[in-house]
Copies of this chain bind each other. A is one copy, B any other.
Amino acid sequence: MAKKAHRRERREQSLSRDRIIAASIQLLDRRGERGLTFRALSERLATGSGAIYWHVANKNDLLTAACDALVVRTMNQTVVTTPKATIRAVALGLFDVIDEHPWVGSALTSALGLSPIVRILERIGQQIRALGVADDEQWAAVGTLMAYILGVSRQNAANRQLARARDLDRSDFLEEVSNAWSKLDPKEYPFVRSVVAQIRDHDDRVDFLAGIDLILMGIDSPRRRRRPRR
Contacts and interface: CB of A to CB of B under 8 A. Distances in A.
Interface in A133-158: 135-136, 138-144, 146-152, 154-155, 158
Interface stretch (A7-15, A51-59, A61-69, A190-198): A190-198
Interface string A201-222: 0100001001101111111010
Secondary structure of the A side of the interface?
A: helix
Interface residues of A, number: 61
A144 B138 contact: no
A27 interface: no
A10 to B, nearest CB: 37
Given A147-B151, A221-B221, A126 B190 contact: yes
Interface string A164-179: 0000000000001100
A112 interface: yes
A210 B109 contact: no
Contact of A211 (B143, B180, B194, B195): B143
A207 B152 contact: no
Interface of A: 105-106, 109-113, 118, 121-122, 125-126, 128-129, 135-136, 138-144, 146-152, 154-155, 158-159, 162, 176-177, 180-181, 184, 188-192, 194-195, 198-199, 202, 207, 210-211, 213-219, 221
Given A106-B106, A110-B162, 18 more contacts: A105-B109, A109-B154, A113-B176, A113-B181, A118-B189, A121-B192, A122-B191, A122-B192, A138-B198, A139-B207, A140-B214, A143-B152, A146-B151, A147-B148, A147-B155, A214-B219, A215-B215, A217-B221
